[in-house]
Structure 1
């Protein structure tokens, strides 16, 4: 697996993958789409550029099998306070999810952050995405008991279809238990 920082020429493929992975429909849909929860676009080029410009310490990483191969997945890593990093936008092409690329990409992202001083990874997941939360728990993440509000009224990431949404905070220690 080749994990490398995204460059401008990757942005259209990243946008397409994020929208397919989060909001795809039909036979090409991912196992963890947000159908019935949020509709519309998950990402566009302007929003991606805006996020990257606003967070210059963040890393948007892409995954490929080979240097010039097709985009297989993405992950966003951002140093926060101290040795805590935020992980988001973990996506994998739905047609290859049975290859366990998501697991490998998550592990590679954790290693990438740890090599840069991360001791803990935090993320937020929409509260009603039980299967996705369970997937992260199986990979060592725990629910912290913290929540964050859902950005109702800001439809840049899509239109919520429910009025009971919020984010759950999950965290994983990257420290080795010796």
Structure 2
């Protein structure tokens, strides 16, 4: 699949289960091991539940962006939260594990950044588990840098499972958008 054949959209309440399945497949369990974004060696839980996805879709200022193939298959998604006077927040980023080297993630991230810039955000922030140096490096190649802030990992919020390590924490990464949709890509 070529990257120019993706269709971007915004998830609706009817798509909660489809988004949930994609996110879980990209991060947890054996299916996630087909890609490089798996966290299965760090966490043995379900990542998020249906009410959590529904909240991200329905909360004002928050949206779940989707990437679909021409035949309608959901192959990527992310959360984008816009707040006046604050950096946009990018999270819940997932690409189908069997399609993670097809530039889908790169293109979806650029789409989210363009939407954030268009809404007036001057930066995009995200959190990444600090042990995930491969993911942090991927974001660095796209202009994201650690802010120096480290946030505690929400062990009490795991969904139907447990952490496999007790030293998890989040690094906060930020990319300035320089007031344009291009943002230094």
Shift of 1:29: 2.6
Partner of 2:121: 118
CA shift digits 1:90-149 (9 cap, x unpaired): 111111112111111111110111111111000000111110011000110001110111
Structure 1: 4+ residue segments shifted above 6 A: none
Which structure 1 segments of 5+ residues have no match? none
Which structure 2 segments of 5+ residues have no match? 1-5
- Cα contact 2:56–2:64 (8 A) shared by 1: no
Shift of 1:24: 3.6
Partner of 1:84: 87
Give the 3 Å change call, closer, same or farther, for CA 96–133 of structure 1 in structure 2: same
With the length of structure 2 as denominator, give the TM-score of the two structures. 0.87
Equivalent of residue 141 in structure 1, options 110, 130, 144: 144
- RMSD (Å) for aligned C-alpha atoms: 2.1
Partner of 1:56: 60
Equivalent of residue 29 in structure 1, options 34, 40, 57: 34
Shift of 1:50: 3.5
With the length of structure 1 as denominator, give the TM-score of the two structures. 0.90
Distance across 2 between alignment mates of 1:157 and 1:138: 34
Partner of 1:65: 69
